[in-house]
Amino acid sequence: MQVTTPEEFVQYLHQMQICTWRHQPRLPWFPSLEAVTLWNGMDVTMNTWFWKDDLHIERKIFYGKLLAPDTPVFVSLDLLPYMIAAQGDIDAHNLHEKGQLAVNAIRVYEHIQRNGPTPTQALPWLPGSRMLYLATLEQKFLLTKYDITGRTRGTYGYRWCLCEEAFPDSFAKAEQIPVTQARDHVIDLLQKHAPNVTPEATAKLFRWQPL
């Protein structure tokens, strides 16, 4: 399948269930949007820039930094409940008490919890890497992009909201899926793309905590 439009990308993601934006040399087996478009490298970034945001904001797909702060990942709405459930405990305060969520991250989470969707620049940042803290919150399905603040240079940015408020149906379904079943489902999916991928490697990839 060759993807040249946002609609075709939604179809592709429905087939693959999960993919990265650009090809990842460290994960050569992982599906990517770049692999099925006419564009390579920065060309795929430029030509599909608005796809990632518009399709996510329209709640047709999920988009987040699930692998690393510099690695955008797309998830189909069919897979999303399993990805959420596979994380296990995603209570922000529990995670903070366990040492799995930094002070900067919990402060940002609590601000949005109190105030609702908030632009990036208006979040209560302490010293440190914004990208890292936001990626941590995205990986745990605590925060996600609500919408964009503009489409021109100088105005382009994001407003953030609680992930459960953006995708309530997915969270409701996730509550009905046992963690072990969710993880097995994700592992089985990845093994369709790379049979040698182990449960241990999958757990490390998505930062799943031991049960």
Quick one: average pLDDT of 80-109?
Answer: 95
CATH 1.10.10: which residues of the chain? 91-167
Quick one: average pLDDT of 132-152?
Answer: 92
- List b or e across 86-113, with b for residues whose CB sees 16 or more CB atoms inside 10 angstroms: bbbebebeebbeeeebbebbbebbebbb
pLDDT over 80 (residue 40): yes
pLDDT value of position 128 = 66
Looking at domain 91-167, its CATH architecture is Orthogonal Bundle (1.10)
How does pLDDT run across 100-121, given as a tens digit for each residue?
999 989 999 999 999 999 999 8
Q: How far apart are CA 134 and CA 161, in angstroms?
A: 11
Confidence of residue 152 (pLDDT cuts 50, 70, 90): confident
